[in-house]
Amino acid sequence: EKIGANKIAAFFAEPIIGAGGVYLPPAGYLAEVRDICREHDILFVVDEVVTGFGRIGGEWFASTRFDLQPEMMTTAKGLTSGYVPMGAVFIAPRVTEPFYAGSWWRHGYTYGGHAGAAAAAMANLDILERENLLAESKRLEASLHTHLQPLAEHPRVAEVRSGLGAVAAVQLVDPAEALPFVKTLREHGISGRAAGQGAMQISPTFVMSDDQVAEMAAGILAALG
């Protein structure tokens, strides 16, 4: 309302903010963004590099879990599980049709649709389906929340962000401790990374068992001291 809808071409959103610190959307936020974009004819672009291909838990994409119906959806990472680099953009007919009307507007990238990356992606997607890993991701959503939330009581922890998708963050009170804490975690057998302002990002493989999640939580607690 402040800027004016006629001055806004598109709204970009990560359903879960990833590298910024793993921030989960408030209940109803994404649906409200979708509705506002529809009302004012603003393109809704959803960045699913983090949440796509099962990470959101129980669904292929956050866009399906929350019925976001974006005009464009960016993806990567989970498409090949990181074995080879590949990204993809899903584009709704409303956006593509003008480029195919009349004379065809041709455009492409040198390595677009690379055969090796595409083969890796197809094999990866077959595994996700065959091993029912979307359901496993949903299980991890609950398991991470159960085992990590008690860490929020530790004096060095500001909060634990979990409960949506197979992803979580343990936010340290002092952000300056984050990078040294990564090294401390390794001493306790845990590989992790700092994200955002002093958060320990947790993005486990979908095959991680509940016992292993409990072991990880115990390791983090031991590292906290």
pLDDT of 186 strictly over 80: yes
Mean pLDDT of 166-176: 97
Q: Which structure tokens are listed for 135?
A: 């359901």
pLDDT per residue over 73-96, tens digit each?
999 999 999 999 999 999 999 998
pTM of the model: 0.91
Query: Of 88, 78, 86, which is closest to residue 124 (Cα–Cα)?
Result: 78
pLDDT of 206 strictly over 80: yes
Assign 192 to helix, strand or coil. coil
Q: Position of tokens 């006629």?
A: 6
pLDDT of 102 strictly over 80: no
* pLDDT more than 90, % of the chain: 91
User: Matching CATH topology for 5-130 and 133-224?
Assistant: no
pLDDT at 2: 93
Query: What gap in Å lies between CA 41 and CA 55, rounded to an integer?
Result: 29
Please state, rounded to an integer, the average pLDDT across all residues of the chain: 95
Q: Identify the bridge partners of residue 43 per DSSP, sorted by sequence position.
A: 10
Q: Which structure tokens are listed for 79?
A: 């498409």
Query: What gap in Å lies between CA 114 and CA 46, rounded to an integer?
Result: 24
Q: Identify the bridge partners of residue 160 per DSSP, sorted by sequence position.
A: 170
Assigned CATH class of 5-130 = alpha beta
Query: What gap in Å lies between CA 91 and CA 11, rounded to an integer?
Result: 15
Which residues, at least 6 apart from 122, have a Cβ–Cβ distance to it below 8 Å?
none
pLDDT band of 104, cuts 50, 70, 90:
confident
pLDDT band of 105, cuts 50, 70, 90:
confident
CB 196 within 8 A of CB 168: no
Query: Right CATH number for 133-224 from 1.10.760.10, 3.30.930.10, 3.90.1150.10, 2.30.30.830?
Result: 3.90.1150.10
Q: Which structure tokens are listed for 56?
A: 């959101």
Domain ranges of the chain: 5-130, 133-224
CB 166 within 8 A of CB 204: yes
pLDDT band of 98, cuts 50, 70, 90:
confident
